[in-house]
């Protein structure tokens, strides 16, 4: 758990939610008879489930200590995140969920689904097809997938996911995104009031708490940050790039060497919040499909969207006055392997230093990470 340097009760709530798979907010929800549906990807439409009084929780492998059970189902060249996540599923760590939804986001996550339906007795398991292009035809297809999910959830859980209730949830979740972007705006200054490890703690918590409670804490934290002291004792302003990074401790190690992470392009970071779902369209499923597929910053799996992703990253580098960037990739992730190669060339063209590193899901080799970051910072300073 990241140290509460901010001395904030609101941040304590976020750190509690981010540091474990099951947190007090989820326990309170379950104790009141609430149902929880787990999901694995930031493209999942939380608003749709929340409209039926179901709490969507993004499944992480936080707290995993090994893969001794899942190694029977995954090869050594599979990404370590699915292996740790499925190990937790087999161990019963996800017993609090009442169902799970996955995407064909990559072959490794797809493999979780293949094994889950054969090895576990979860009564509600769905997989949705996620297009790799973001044009009008694909948005329509994605809307149909959301419609199919709505029908499945209504039938299984005996709830009604009405359009007006979905619209209410869109407005609520947009409020979350606006508040988080306000905090990001504070990080553009010369003395940001929050560091990168703390910011990742806040965004990870957004995937594991009921939004009304989360927004209340977020408003409290935002008020504290606006009146708090800024951070000035840093050697360089750094941007984090990559995919699945849900462990603030990794960023804490990086910042322990004198870097200050001021922004990111991560699926637990800015890609959760950098755009809004259009409200009042009369067709909330269409609005959700448009947002999750086309409007928000694209995932590296979207092979037609690289130019837009690169432009988004370049704009971040400029607006947040970034001195250098660190690209983290889970070992054997082919999607972000291609992305890493492409961005290395772009960062050379932009004249911005980039450190590219592969890692396991669990934070190991912290000493080696410190050494590489230290050398990277010295290179920038020279």
- pTM confidence score: 0.96
Return the number of other C-beta atoms located less than 10 Å from residue 33's C-beta.
7
pLDDT at 5: 84
Give the C-alpha separation, 244 to 253, whole Å.
17
Q: Which two tokens stand for residue 33?
A: 């008879």
pLDDT at 2: 79
Q: Which two tokens stand for residue 105?
A: 């986001």
Pick the closest to residue 56 from 164, 176, 140 (CA basis).
176
Return the number of other C-beta atoms located less than 10 Å from residue 63's C-beta.
12
pLDDT at 156: 98
Domains and CATH numbers, the chain: 1-382 (3.40.50.11900)
Residue with tokens 């370049």: 314
Low-confidence stretches of the chain (pLDDT < 70) are none
pLDDT at 343: 95
Mean pLDDT of the chain: 95
Backbone φ, ψ for residue 257 (5° rounding)? -95, 0
CA-based torsion, 41, 45, 48, 50: positive or negative: positive
């Amino acid at each position: 758990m990241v140290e509460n340097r901010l001395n904030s009760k609101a941040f304590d709530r976020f750190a509690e939610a981010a540091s474990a798979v099951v947190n007090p907010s989820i326990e309170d929800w379950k104790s009141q008879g609430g149902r929880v549906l787990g999901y694995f990807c930031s493209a999942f439409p939380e608003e749709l489930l929340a409209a039926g009084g179901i709490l969507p929780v993004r499944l992480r492998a936080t707290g995993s200590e090994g893969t001794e059970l899942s190694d029977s189902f995954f090869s050594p060249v599979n990404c370590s995140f699915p292996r740790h996540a499925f190990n937790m599923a087999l161990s019963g760590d996800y017993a609090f969920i009442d169902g799970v939804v996955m995407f064909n986001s990559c072959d490794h996550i797809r493999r979780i689904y293949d094994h889950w339906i054969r090895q576990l007795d979860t009564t509600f398991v769905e997989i949705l097809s996620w297009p790799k292009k973001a044009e009008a035809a694909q948005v329509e297809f994605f809307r149909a997938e959301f419609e199919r999910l709505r029908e499945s959830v209504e039938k299984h859980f005996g709830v009604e996911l009405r359009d007006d209730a979905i619209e209410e949830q869109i407005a609520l979740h947009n409020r979350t995104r606006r508040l988080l972007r306000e905090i990001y705006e504070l990080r553009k200054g010369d003395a940001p009031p929050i560091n990168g490890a703390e910011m990742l703690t806040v965004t990870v918590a957004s995937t594991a708490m009921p939004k009304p409670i989360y927004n209340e804490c977020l408003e409290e934290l935002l008020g504290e940050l606006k009146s708090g002291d800024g951070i000035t004792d840093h050697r360089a302003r750094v941007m984090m790039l990559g995919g699945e990074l849900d462990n603030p401790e990794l960023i804490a190690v990086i910042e322990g060497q004198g870097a200050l992470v001021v922004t990111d392009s991560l699926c637990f970071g800015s890609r959760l919040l950098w755009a809004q779902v259009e409200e009042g369209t009369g067709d909330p499923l269409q609005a959700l499909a448009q947002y999750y597929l086309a409007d928000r910053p694209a995932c590296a799996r979207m092979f037609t969207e690289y130019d837009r992703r690169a432009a988004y990253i370049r704009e971040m580098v400029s607006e947040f006055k970034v001195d250098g960037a660190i690209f983290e990739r889970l070992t054997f992730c082919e999607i972000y392997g291609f992305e890493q190669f492409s961005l290395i060339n772009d960062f050379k063209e932009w004249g911005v230093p980039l450190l590219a590193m592969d890692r396991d899901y669990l934070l190991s080799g912290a000493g080696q990470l410190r050494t590489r970051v230290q050398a990277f910072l010295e290179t920038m300073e020279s």
